[in-house]
Amino acid sequence: MPFSRYVALGDSTTEGLDDPAPDGRGHLGFADRLAARIARENPDLLYANLAVRGRKARQIRVEQLEPALALEPDLATVVGGLNDILRPRVDLDAVAAEMEAMIGALRRSGATVVGATFPDTARIMPLARVVRGRVMAFNEMLRAIAARHGALLVDLEQRGVVDPRLWSADRLHANAAGHERIAASMAEALGLDPEVDPWAPLAPAERLRRRAAVAREAAWIARHLTPWVVRRVRGRSSGDGVLPKRPELLPVEAG
């Protein structure tokens, strides 16, 4: 510290979906929030965000790694793989290899690299129980990759960011409070004082009555799960035609 060139690689989480910007145009997300925190230490920080929603691990590597290396970052965040895990079939070894290729290349370039494991999605989205084993296995792979390359890893599985109140209505993306906590956990990993305690438990939530809970599940299936399944069947992605929101290194306003 202080870092001077931060580049973020990833999918919708890094793009910042469901963390709307205050002006209503676009999204913030943990990467924007982390950049703002680092800019408090170094007002000359430059930041780029190459992430695009819907991207699988191979797409992230193919589309984002070389542009990231060309920007010569001294800090990079790499978060991806969940879009692969949620598919009906997945080769976890192949997904892990893509993640390792990115992390290894960025580390060899001299960048500090921060990644993250995934929380137990079944605690946020009950239907995700079918992929719980995949998530846990992939997290173990990420831990091993980080250890091999000397990367920092925020362990969201071990410490938990699973309160539904930290997640958006689609249950796939963190909301503003969730992104704030992810950013704080990464700041903490980098040795910075986080703006919020990323691991503080929330106050007990009011328990939903059964009828309300059933109605909420039905609404989620209709509004979020069904459109997602339809896109998969049609071979489409939420990221079709979407470009990185911040492809160049630009100054950051301190948060």
Q: Which domains occur in the chain, in start order?
A: 5-200+210-251 (3.40.50.1110)
User: What pLDDT score was predicted for residue 119?
Assistant: 87
User: What pLDDT score was predicted for residue 170?
Assistant: 74
Q: Which residues contact 213 (CB under 8 A, 6 or more apart)?
A: none
Q: pLDDT tens across 52-102, in order?
A: 999 999 999 999 999 999 999 999 999 999 999 988 899 999 999 999 999
Residue 116 CA to residue 205 CA, distance in Å, equals 26
User: What pLDDT score was predicted for residue 24?
Assistant: 82
User: What pLDDT score was predicted for residue 86?
Assistant: 84
Residue 10 CA to residue 76 CA, distance in Å, equals 10
User: What pLDDT score was predicted for residue 255?
Assistant: 65
User: What pLDDT score was predicted for residue 203?
Assistant: 72
What are the tokens at 151? 């990367």
Q: Which of 196, 246, 191 has the alpha carbon at shortest distance from 31? A: 246
Residue 65 CA to residue 89 CA, distance in Å, equals 25
Which parts of the chain have pLDDT scores under 50? Answer: none
Kindly tell me the burial class for residue 39, based on how many C-beta atoms sit within 10 Å of its own C-beta (0-12, 13-18, 19 or more).
buried
Residue 138 CA to residue 95 CA, distance in Å, equals 9
